[in-house]
Amino acid sequence: MVVKLDRVRYIRVDFFGQPPSIGHFINGLRSNVRKLKGELFLATSNLHVVEYKDKYAIIKSTNKSRDTIEAALQLFDFNEFILVVKKVSGTLKSLSKTAIDEEKDEIE
């Protein structure tokens, strides 16, 4: 039996201001997705934080849940920081390359 898996999307989110702690970010994101679509959607969205740095985070999800996750990011309380979806890609390599290139530009 062949099982068809959903396409994976990686979402890069940039932080401006004081970035949240990783626990606050993950719990807030999961809570916001749960508010929007419910527990079943959260379970099937395959939502994971792949990389978390001071200036950005990379989130892994299914292609079908990408729009909902982007909407859930906008539900954060923006007292200390602002979240901006920088890029969405099907491969982690392209997002990591973008982050490395930006870090090189800042050093120069």
Residue 2 inside a domain? The answer is: no
Separation between Cα atoms, residue 66 and residue 60, nearest integer Å: 9
pLDDT at 103: 64
Res. 104: pLDDT tops 80 = no
CATH number for the domain spanning 65: value is: 3.30.70.3250
Total domains present in the chain = 1
Q: What is the mean pLDDT of residues 55-69?
A: 91
What is the pLDDT, as a whole number, of residue 99? 65
Place of tokens 């890069």: 12
Whether 3 is covered by a domain: the verdict is no
- Name the CA dihedral angle for 72, 74, 80, 82, rounded to a multiple of 10 degrees: 120
Do 13 and 76 form a contact (C-beta atoms < 8 A)?
no
pLDDT digits (tens, 9 = 90+) for 77-88: 777 788 889 889
Q: Quick check: 64 pLDDT over 80?
A: yes
Domain ranges, residue 45 = 8-107
Residue 30 pLDDT: 93
- Strands annotated E in the chain: 8-17, 48-52, 56-62, 81-89
Question: How many other β-carbons are positioned within 10 Å of the β-carbon of residue 20?
Answer: 20
